[in-house]
Amino acid sequence: MLDDFFVRALIAGIGIAVMAGPLGCFVIWRRMAYFGDTMAHSALLGVALSLLLELNLMLSVFIVAAVVSVLLLFLQRRGALSTDALLGILSHSALSFGLVIVAFMTWVRIDLVGFLFGDILAVSESDIDIIWGGGILVIFAIVYLWRPLLASTVNPELAEAEGLKPERTRLFFMLLMALVIAIAMKIVGILLITSLLIIPAATARRFSTSPEVMAVLASVIGALAVTGGLFGSLHWDTPSGPSIVVAAVGLFVLSLLPIGRRPLEAAHHSTPGGHH
């Protein structure tokens, strides 16, 4: 018989995997893996500000991540620097500001390791409500935005010509990322969120015949990684968050084995429009 805290961890982890999967696919298709890191790093600044100003933690992280997203779009329009350079500047700035603010708050005891790596085994029932409530909201938003998101990923100029407003769609996508990171931070930690976004989606790419199949598979693979990682951490007494990522990496390595269809062929089919 499994303990209550373990069952809660499973339910919470699967909820995060389900909403992270489809978003992770767009992160891979748009070659925005570093953007995920930037958003995750901005979460620490959100944590620091929530403690300083006594704000709700999740709300504070979402606001900071959203501001970083809008700032990125603004700086990209200016065209002064390449996107990866801008992401590097924003990522390290947000992380450093967060750490400096935390250092100044000598009256606050802060568990940085907990925020960086999360503590999925400490999930409460109210956390589960927030995760699944937010998860359902994210999934509905992705379904609603699927066509414009996909069109602007494959060909932004064509999407613009069709009146699908790729810039606005991109902003919505970034805000969804901010929401997922705000929800997931407490559970899997700042450093592990990007892993749950990217690794299951990269694994799903090997077995997918269409973008839709890849999005669903990414959620399923993420849920398998959460389940395998948690049971592994229970069996070997290893940290739960990193164990989930190790399980995800294990599934990714298995996906590289030449079984059935060639990986390259599968990857080609599962990229929107067959582009790389």
Q: Which CATH architecture has domain 4-274?
A: Orthogonal Bundle (1.10)
* Domain locations along the chain: 4-274
Residue 263: which pLDDT band, with cuts at 50, 70 and 90?
A: very low
Give pLDDT tens digits for 89-102.
999 999 999 989 98
In the chain, what is the greatest distance between 2 CA atoms, to the nearest angstrom? 59
Residues 6+ apart with CB under 8 A from 211: 25, 29, 150, 270, 271, 272
DSSP state of 220: H
Residue with the larger pLDDT of the pair 1 and 126: 126
d(CA 151, CA 161): 11
Residue with the larger pLDDT of the pair 74 and 115: 74
- Return the closest-CA partner of residue 187 out of 115, 103, 135: 115
d(CA 146, CA 150): 6
C-alpha distances in angstroms, 45 versus 72, 94, 95, 102, 218?
16, 6, 6, 9, 29
Tokens of 199: 């690794």
What SS3 state is found at 239? coil
Instruction: Count CB-CB contacts under 10 A for residue 152.
Output: 25
Tokens of 112: 């940085």
Tokens 């930690």 sit on residue: 189
Tokens 């801008």 sit on residue: 86
Please provide the distance, in angstroms rounded to a whole number, between the alpha carbons at the two ends of the chain: 47
Tokens of 124: 């409460």
Tokens of 69: 């997203």
Give pLDDT tens digits for 26-82.
999 988 888 888 988 899 899 999 999 999 999 999 999 999 999 998 988 888 788
| pLDDT at position 264 | 44
Residue 266: which pLDDT band, with cuts at 50, 70 and 90?
A: very low
What share of the chain in percent tops pLDDT 70?
A: 94
